[in-house]
Structure 1
Amino acid sequence: MLNINRWGSLFLLLLISISAQGQLHYKFDHTGGEVLHEEVSGKDYTVEYVFTDAKYKPNSEPLWRESSISGQSLLFDGYSTYIVNEDFAINEGKGFTVSVWVAPRAFEWGRDGKLSSIVNQQDLETKQGFAMGMHRHGSWSFHVGNGQEWIELWEVEKLLPKNEWSYLTATINQESVSLFLNGEKVQEKVFEEPFVFSPADEPLIVGRHNDPNPLYPGSEFMVNMFNGLMDDLKIEFDSREDAEIKESYQTYLNGDTAPKIADADIFLDYDKYEGDRFRPLYHAIAPAHWMNEPHAPFFFNGKYHLFYQHNPTGPYWRQIHWGHWVSDDMINWKHAPIALAPEKGELTPDGIWSGGAGFDPDGNPLLYFTAGNDDLMPNQAVAIAFPKDLDDPNLKEWEMHPELVAEKPEEYLENEFRDAFVWQDEDKWYMLVGTGLEGRGGSASLFESDNAYQWEYLNPFYISDFDKYPYLGLVWELPVFLPIGKYESGEDRFIFLISPVRDPADVEVFYWLGRFDKEEQKFVPDQEAPQLMDYGDFGFTGPSGMMDPASGKPVVFTIAQGKHNGIDPFELGWAHNAGLPVVLDLDDDGDLAFEPVPAIESLRGDLLLELENVPIKEANERLAEIAGDDLEILLNFASSKEKKGITVRKSPNEEELTLIYYNPENSMFGVDRTKSSKLQKLGIDEGELDLKGEALELRVFLDKSMLEIYANKRKSITTRVYAEQDATGLTLIGEDDLIVQSLKIWRMKPIDWQCVD
């Protein structure tokens, strides 16, 4: 039987197509490389994409995807993908219609009210042209000018959903302009006088504002970019009636809904960095773009969860979300969907900043995050999120509690209140929030609760002597407080870690060992002077921590900063990664000892070399056969009074090399990077190491640009080496009679990144 309605729809579309004399149509079907075909003119246009001419990885094509409305679609990465058309123009006074299918992945912060443009050909100064785009939290808009007036038609209630197809249409004539979402009119403006469209003398740009904001003043890194899938963009030289637009929408559908989008087609993708010579392979890293510190670790129903500060729109700081990893062992992670994102309203419009995790009275996990709202003063407070489905083993979806649970007490610095850390002690919950006190330096504010939801402020947890230790800064971020043993009396002993910021801060991880005075509700350190865990300059920062129920020991996570000086993150497409998680303990003298969690051994591949009790000359002869930038090295030297160590990332002509050393004469443990990179000028990181009469033991992890060194489980150095690809050689250093007690080298396997089920 003939389907009259279906044939009628097709006939209507045919009439529409015939009447649209002159139009633009991008199907976004892949025609080869970075070429995009425009159907009406028959011309091909280039898709701008940073990796079609990659600097630090093999070249790759723009992100063509099979999830589509028709044929294929194009995934705009949010910071580098756009198309410029110098040929297209709309005649003055002409009515026209813009329609497009979009599936946003994330929304920009939207500085100065500028759109993340889907398509635009505009001149804001002369009030000419038009633009369609997204804005904060999924609002969207169509703008148009007549040379005297600039009309903005906004939809701020029916927000664009993420990761789903939406059909957007704007149509304008001299009488009115209207917006449609999925065939339904959502906004309309009727003009009091005839509106005569005035075209802009600008190129048509798809996916990027044609007058974008720089990331910061003077930056060549531009924002105001579309982030997500786009398909079937049309500009027709005529306005459309409501029924025509609804009919057009329905003809695309297979049934009543748009096609589902495969996760792999829209999620940020680890695979697009394959071959990147700097991007770590066995350290936890965001699938793409910017990440800050990992935080809020917890263990629940057999899974470890770890979150991280994340900007899914590009490799730069702004509009921070919470990324999410899930693991069975804290090393082999899987990628979960973004857990928390800024949302419209008064709770989190400007960011989901760092925080911690805890458990409610029923033992269910809670996330304590810093809620950012720049319309408030102060602009930071603590809020809570909880899992939507406790039966989901991966806890993929989280829901925010609608109210703030803790706000800054008056005595602390304005707009310096963040990074909650929560623990339970019998029937009480305690929370630390990083902050600072006017004229007294950094501190952490202490709160108490009977139920993990309602919190009462107590007092500053600990205040150091700012005059004596000015490098502890004006503000403390990311306080961490974990049990680490007991005193001889049986009283619990704790480690308290902080990351200082604000001049004159030395932004590293400092710690004290000490006790928790419950009566005074304060921390009492065993030693006044703060201690450093790691001697890498700004390489081991942003601490978070948890008690591992499997081992009963505290575990600390950190961020390994990128130190990109001289290397543009725009050309990398990513910024920063996590350091290896470390398990904390006390040595026989009651001092801190730490090393990577045992599960790192699960990534050991081939044992490339194993030596015992050989002279250094013989060891070097064997080392000449070994090379790599993805290694674990375990090295023990016999005791001696001479400087000793190992050179890694050495090029064949020794133009590049990195020296790891220990000098017994002054007890200095360090890494010399003065010859590490032709791309960057690097220096020496070192600090004092007391071996306590033991022989030197070095454990070295090379992972592309990452370098982590652990010495006798007492100190570490975390740093970066941006060397050439041929800088993979190894050499031991020391006197000719020095004995290498043992040397083992493993090739390390990469994390097999997959999405959680």
Structure 2
Amino acid sequence: MHPAPDHTLVKVKPTGKYLILPVEENREDSRIDVLVNGEKVTTLFVRLAENNVDYSVPFDLSPYAGKGEILLSIISPVNNREHSRQATEILCWNEMSVSDSFDTSNKEKYRPTYHHTPLYGWMNDPNGMFYKDGAWHLYYQHNPYGSKWQNMTWGHSSSTDLVHWTHHPEAIRPDGLGTIFSGNSVIDHDNTAGFGAGEVITLYTSCDKSQVQSLAHSSDNGMTFTKYPGNPVIVTPNEARDPNIFRNSGINKWNLVLAGAMDHEMHIFSSPDLKEWTYESSFGKGYGAQDGVWECPDLFQLDVPGTNEKKWVLLCNLNPGGKFGGSATQYFIGEFDGKKFTSDYAPEDTLWMDFGKDHYATVTWSDAPEGRRTAIGWMSNWQYANEVPTKQFRSANTLPRDLSLFHSPEGKLLLASKPAKELADMRGEARSYGRFSVSQKGRTFRLPDGKGMEIVMDYSLNAKSDVSLTLSNANGDKVIMTIDAKDMTFTMDRTKSGEVSFSRHFPAVTVAPLSKDAPAGTIRIFIDSSSIEAFDSEGRFAMTNLVFPTQPYSTITVKGKGKGKIKKLNAYKIK
């Protein structure tokens, strides 16, 4: 039924589990109001196909089983339609179907082989991560109705080893307060909130006309959540989002850090019960990188090596304003007394957590075992995240990383990001290329077949030498990584890495400082279908960049100038 050129009514009998909706990527969103007995129960936005179907997405009908027909009231972009009869010609009305299944088998050559991705749809910030009863729970900003940003819900996956992930139904869905933006979760061991000892408590941002902070709790280890009837629990006069909560034993209270997005500040609150919050202070005006918006904070303690002291680390994700354009994660190190954070660094000092272009929204798991502080990020950049060459899904997470502090040769205290120890178990068959001296002519080796591998190189250079590693394939795609002993830098050039034309911001050369006091060390490089992550052996630098080779990289060439030696060069195929 087409009452108007832009308005269509569709009756659906929930005789199967899903309503399959056809999507055309370059269309504008249609608004779909779902009505049961005349009452609107939810709204979603979908790029309904008009001329061709790029892929399909499922709308879950199981909540409406036994309720008779449901009615979809759909407002679509007019696209020069003048009469209602023209709306009947739109492709999507014939392509909608009811089904008991939805095919999530991989249809993308760029889907990673060992990084976490959603089964389908869009993903951005990791959210609400906690460890409990042997499982690492990872939630994420998810659009289940398309591969561009929209319809923000919390997707959910879990893992017992940070390598293999099990997908679960969406954990928190939009409601009358708005869509579900980022936040985090904690375990309320002492029942301070009154929902029960061991309850998982989540705070997140509800976003509609404004951004407010809401609470939900779970008694089944985060599989389902009950929203607190007293929501919202925090309302601020200015735009603020992405609450991060943690138990502070020093004050025997909960602390919360909230990103004052446009003010370039982190707002700090305290609470005895996770429901009533008291504003304490703000930090950030004039400190570090000040461009764009500040988002996704995290605040935690780490040991200072060689001492009995601890320092507080404040993660601050910002966009734009990253070192190489667009999104990035900066951090601050200092003191925190439960009310006020004080940086050990001068306002003009900016500390970057990762020196690539594709590391953002990085936050850590609460209650991680063995006292670990383990982080994961969104592996993309807002400059081009909606345009990367995938459709069935968009975006992956970085590899999980264990965080620690270290002293630079200059005596500065900095943050290290080392691949989580569980990742060593991914190593399969090793291909060893032996020991050899670096030369300008270079040596080329064949890489293991397949899209997933880890390369480990031990090297020793003199003060005026360098060594480069070039990944390449038969189509001429290449990524060049260079260690320069004179400048003490690690550089990655992806300007000719494969598919790069989808955004002018994508071709890039990124540079990280090497903080070793001698030009020797170990480099670990993780290569997947559409990403490269490089670290030194202690995580004293990290660099994360997406790549989209037209076919997998098949060779590695090692060359350089000066007196340098490769002590070991191994390529491990990922199991």
Q: TM-score, normalised by structure 1?
A: 0.62
After TM superposition, give the deviation of residue 75 of structure 1 in Å.
5.8
Q: Say whether 1:386 aligns with 2:284.
A: no
Does the aligned pair in 2 maintain the 1:286–1:577 contact within 8 Å?
A: yes
What are the Cα deviations for residues 162-221 of structure 1, in whole angstroms up to 9, with x where unaligned? 3428589xxxxxxxxxxxx52799xxxxxxxxxxxx982554556459xxxxxxxxxxxx
2:345 counterpart of 1:527: yes
Residues 202, 652 of structure 1: alpha-carbon distance in 2 compared, 3 angstrom cutoff: closer
Letter in 2 for 1:182: G
Quote the residue 2:20 is aligned against: 76
Distance 1:434 1:509 in 2: 13
Equivalent residues of 2:31, 2:43 under 8 A apart: no
How far apart are the structure 2 equivalents of 1:544 and 1:371?
A: 19
2:181 matched residue in structure 1: 353
What residue is the counterpart of 2:161 in the other structure? 329
SS in 2 for 1:602: helix
Partners of 1:525 and 1:74 lie apart in 2 by: 52
1:583 aligns with 2:402: yes
Change (3 A) 1:408 1:202: closer
Q: Which residue of 1 aligns with 2:7?
A: none
Do the aligned residues in 2 keep the contact of 1:292 with 1:559 (CA within 8 Å)?
A: yes
User: Which ranges of structure 1 fall in alignment gaps of 5 or more residues?
Assistant: 1-27, 29-67, 82-109, 117-134, 142-153, 169-180, 186-197, 210-224, 232-260, 750-757
What letter is aligned with 2:535? Y
2:515 aligned with 1:690:
yes
- Report what 1:182 is aligned to: 68
Match of 1:200 in 2: 85
Q: Which runs of 5+ in 2 are unaligned?
A: 1-11, 45-58, 72-82, 192-196
Equivalent in 276, 281, 292 of residue 454 of structure 1 = 276
Q: How far apart, CA to CA, are the structure 2 residues paired with 1:370 and 1:542?
A: 15
Shift of 1:687: 3.1
Deviation per CA, 1:636-684: give whole Å up to 9, x if none: 1113231213111x0236x221001111222221101222125436121
What residue is the counterpart of 2:329 in the other structure?
A: 509
Asked if the contact 1:139–1:159 (Cα under 8 Å) also holds between the matched residues in 2, the reply is no
1:668-704 per-position Cα deviation (integer Å, ceiling 9, x unaligned):
2110122212543612111322222251321101111
Structure 1 residues 281 and 163, CA gap change in structure 2 (3 angstroms): farther
Q: Choose the corresponding residue for 1:367, options 181, 189, 202.
A: 202
Give yes or no for contact 2:362–2:378 (8 Å, CA) kept in 1. Answer: yes
Aligned counterpart, 2:371: 552
Q: Would you say the 8 A contact 2:526–2:533 is kept in 1?
A: yes
Q: Deviations over 1:15-56 (max 9, x none)?
A: xxxxxxxxxxxxx9xxxxxxxxxxxxxxxxxxxxxxxxxxxx
- Counterpart residue type for residue 331 of structure 1: V
Structure label with greater radius of gyration: 1
Distance 1:373 1:630, change over 3 A: same
Contact 2:446 2:554 in 1 (8 A): no
CA distance in 2, matches of 1:355, 1:559: 14
Compared CA separation, residues 425 and 638, structure 1 to 2 (3 A) = same
Matches within 5 A, 1:221-370: 230=98, 261=100, 265-266=101-102, 270-273=104-107, 276-343=108-175, 345=176, 347=177, 350-360=178-188, 361=191, 362-370=197-205
SS at match of 1:200: helix
Shift of 1:549: 3.5
1:674: which partner in 2?
Answer: 495
Give the equivalent residue in structure 2 for 1:398: 225
Alignment check: 8 A CA contact 2:443 2:558 kept: no
User: Matched residues in 1 for 2:484 and 2:164: separation?
Assistant: 36
CA shift in 2, pair 1:183/1:569, >3 Å: same
Deviation at 1:386, TM superposition (A): 1.2
- Whether contact under 8 Å (1:326, 1:334) holds in the other structure is yes
1:734 maps to amino acid: G
- Distance in 2 between the 1:74 and 1:591 partners? 50
| Structure 1 CA distance for aligned equivalents of residues 543 and 369 of structure 2 | 27
Q: Which moved more, 1:353-362 or 1:332-341?
A: 353-362
How has the CA–CA distance of structure 1 residues 208 and 715 changed in structure 2, closer, same or farther, with 3 Å as cutoff? farther
Q: Structure 2: how far apart are the matches of 1:458 and 1:358?
A: 21
2:120 maps to amino acid: A
| One-letter amino acid of the counterpart of residue 205, structure 2 | T
Alignment partners' CA distance in 1, 2:109 and 2:519: 37
2:479 aligned partner, one-letter code: T
**Structure 2 CA distance for partners of 1:635 and 1:563, relative to 1, 3 Å:** farther
Q: 1:148-174 deviations in whole A, cap 9, x for unaligned?
A: xxxxxx443699993428589xxxxxx
1:418 corresponds in structure 2 to 241
Cα separation, 2, equivalents of 1:464 and 1:572:
39
Closer, same or farther: CA 510–311 of 1 in aligned 2, 3 Å: same
Q: How many residues align?
A: 516
Query: What's 2:56 paired with?
Result: none
Q: Which has the higher contact order (CA 8 A, sep 6+)?
A: 2
SS in 1 for 2:257: strand
Distance 1:278 1:449 in 2: 45
Matches within 5 A, 1:17-166: 69=15, 76-80=20-24, 116=32, 135=33, 138-139=34-35, 154-156=38-40, 162-164=60-62
What secondary structure sits across from 1:480 in the alignment?
Answer: strand
Q: Counterpart amino acid of 2:361?
A: G
CA separation in 2, counterparts of 1:400 and 1:664?
55
1:570/1:540 CA distance change after superposition, 3 Å: closer
Q: Which has the higher helix share?
A: 1
Match of 1:708 among 525, 528, 533: 533
Task: Name the CA distance, whole Å, in 2 between partners of 1:183 and 1:567.
Answer: 35
CA RMSD of aligned residues (A): 3.7
Q: 1:208 to 1:738 in 2, by over 3 A?
A: farther
Distance 1:204 1:604, change over 3 A: same
* Aligned equivalents of 2:450, 2:93: Cα separation in 1: 40
Among candidates 293, 297, 301, match of residue 475 of structure 1: 293
Conserved? CA contact 1:633–1:744, under 8 Å: yes
CA contact (8 A) 2:465 2:562 kept: no
The alignment's TM-score, normalised by the length of structure 2, stands at 0.80
- Report the residue type matching 2:546 in the other structure: R
Distance 1:734 1:502, change over 3 A: closer
**Aligned to 2:360, which of 541, 555, 570?**
541
- The residue that corresponds to 1:561 in the other structure is 380
Provide closer, same or farther for how the CA distance between residues 464 and 738 of structure 1 changes in structure 2, counting only shifts above 3 A: same
Question: In the TM superposition, what is the alpha-carbon distance from 1:395 to its structure 2 partner?
Answer: 3.5
Q: 1:494: which partner in 2? A: 312
- Superposed CA deviations along residues 319-371 of structure 1, whole A, max 9, x for unmatched, are 1000001111222211011001112x3x3xx3100001122232321111111
